[in-house]
Structures are given as C-alpha cells and as structure tokens.
Amino acid sequence: MIKTPLCELLGIEYPIFQGGMAWISDGKLAAAVSNGGGLGIISAMNANAQYVREQIQLARSLTDKPFGVNIMLMSPFADEVAQVVAEEKVAVVTTGAGNPGKFMPLWLEAGIKVIPVVASVGMAKLVTKAGAAAIIAEGGESGGHVGELTTMVLVPQVCDATDLPVLAAGGIGDGRGIAAAFMLGAVGVQVGTRFLVAHECGVHPNYKKKVLKANDIATMTTGKRLGHPVRQIKNQFAKEFFKAEYSQISDEELEKLGSGALYRAAVEGDEKTGDFLAGQIAGMVNKEQPAAEIIQEMFTEAEEVLKGANKWVK
C-alpha cells in the first residue's frame, strides 16, 4: 500500500489528483475519481459562478468523499467563481495559469485547502508564504497551458524551495511515472490525460479516440507569442494556429482564431477545428477504463516499481 502525508492531509486513499480539464472535468468525473480514492477536481475554466455551483452540487450528490475545484486565474469569471467556492466551502481549491495571491485570504478564511499549480520556483515560494496547503509542480509535458520547465527539473527544485507537500504533474500516466515523481521528492501526483478516457469522463467520443490513437510525438505547443503556450494534439487547428502565430496577423486576430476551439473539441468533437488539449503521455494511453480502475492500476504498478528499485543498490 502506498501512503504519503498527502493522504492524511486531505483524507484520501491514494495520493493522486485528477487534473482540472476545461470543458471536461465536471462534477460526474470528479465524483468518480473521489469515489475511486483519489481527489476529483471540477474545472471552473471560463465558466460562470452558476455553472460551478451546479457542478459542486452534482459532485456532492454523487460522493461523500472530498473533491476540489480548479480555478483558471485567467478566466473572466475568476472573481465570482472564487466567491462561490468560498460559499460552498469545497475541501480543496487548485489554481492554474497565474498567481492566486489575491484570493488566498478569502479561501483560507473559509477553511479551504488551497493547492496552487506552479510552473516555477518563484511562484512556489510566493504561494508557500501566502498560506498554500500543498503545491502542484506542473512540467511542460502536460496538456493545456504549460510552463517552460519539464517535470524532471521543476519538481526537485520546487521541493527544495518549500516545506509543503509537493505533487508532480505533467508526463505522469502510469505507475512508473508515480514512482519517478516520488524519487524527485513529490508525495503525490496530478494526472489529466489518462482520465480523459475514463468511462465516467463525458468528453466527446472523438476526443477519446484521438487520445487513444496518439503516439509519443502526437502533441505540439502553440500560443507562445500570446504569452500562454498550450499543448494539444496535432491536427488542422493546431497546425493552422501555429502558422498564424508566425505570420503578420495581430495578436487580437490570433486570439480570435483560438476562441471556442476547446469547446469545439470537447463538446462537439470537431476533429478539424477543435483544440484537443492533451499531454505527452497520450502516447501511452491505450484503453478506456473506470476511473477507480485507472487509480488502482497506477498504484499497483507504482508499488511494484518502488519495491524493485532496491535491486540497483549494491
């Protein structure tokens, strides 16, 4: 059995979070992951307060285990959603794509455990001072909005910079990834891409098909010019966006080109004009399974790998 301080901190069985994925991680998926012993997370993405409240209530109707809400700090609705999670007193808030500092007093006052996603040591130090309960260090192997550093170099440097529990994210899709994350100093992992194909994940079937078909070099990043690089599966949309980025068009036109593309992928399954965010481990996601089975399989494998590691020590 694998137990870490993260399990005690949050009252969860396995030290694994399901990453918040825009238009994908809803109350149903979050509840399935929490019922499977991990921490399910609802993505607040660019949605308004009402949507987030409904998803929190849906999750509560499906599980009595703790779950979290991920707040994307670049969202135009971040302020109102920040209020809703405080009112609803969700167990955990994770944040992404920015500095959560201005919301921290509100959430801490509500008794919420705040666990920011960081992509740098500087942000890890800031959120440690601001009262975070733990930190998710996310490397650029992950899907969606990514930082510059890989998981391999980010995680140990974040671990050295904080006394808080650290979760590793980005590039973790099986038990070997969990074991490696622990060796880097993490006491938990966050996984997104593998949960895309969970039975309880309601993303469009075309999205699942694309992840299941992906190989090691199936993803690419775009959006550097706009200051927010995004990793996604290569398709017509990604290639056209990439080309446009290096053309003369204005930043406003480029932003417009990207708008609605996540929705077209996740909800409509539009294989040409949709933006299919996924991490580099898509290449090793080969089967659909219930969320609970994904968690159990990953930790059974991690245990075997960790027990076997001693063979290298003479």
**Which residues make up the interface to ligand TUI (CB under 6 A)?**
22, 72, 74, 96-99, 117-119, 123, 138, 144-147, 228, 230, 277
* Cα–Cα distance for residue pair 92/114, rounded to 1 Å: 6
Tell the residue number behind the tokens 């959560």, with chain if given: 100
Is 62 or 135 the residue whose CB approaches ligand TUI more closely?
135
Task: Find the shortest distance in angstroms from Cβ 306 to ligand TUI.
Answer: 27
Joined tokens for residue 33: 């992951």
Q: How many CA atoms lie within 13 A of 269 on its CB side?
A: 10
Task: Find the shortest distance in angstroms from Cβ 56 to ligand TUI.
Answer: 19
* Cα–Cα distance for residue pair 32/8, rounded to 1 Å: 20
Is 83 or 99 the residue whose CB approaches ligand TUI more closely?
99
Task: Find the shortest distance in angstroms from Cβ 231 to ligand TUI.
Answer: 8
Is 64 or 252 the residue whose CB approaches ligand TUI more closely?
252
Strands (E) across 25-143 are located at 40-43, 67-72, 92-96, 113-118, 135-138
Residue nearest to ligand TUI (CB): 144
Is 278 or 305 the residue whose CB approaches ligand TUI more closely?
278
Single-letter code of the amino acid located at 10: L
Task: Find the shortest distance in angstroms from Cβ 160 to ligand TUI.
Answer: 18
Q: At what angle do helices 27-35 and 49-62 cross, to 10 degrees?
A: 30
Q: Is the Cβ–Cβ distance between 56 and 90 less than 8 Å?
A: yes
Is 199 or 228 the residue whose CB approaches ligand TUI more closely?
228
Joined tokens for residue 255: 């932003």
Task: Find the shortest distance in angstroms from Cβ 177 to ligand TUI.
Answer: 17
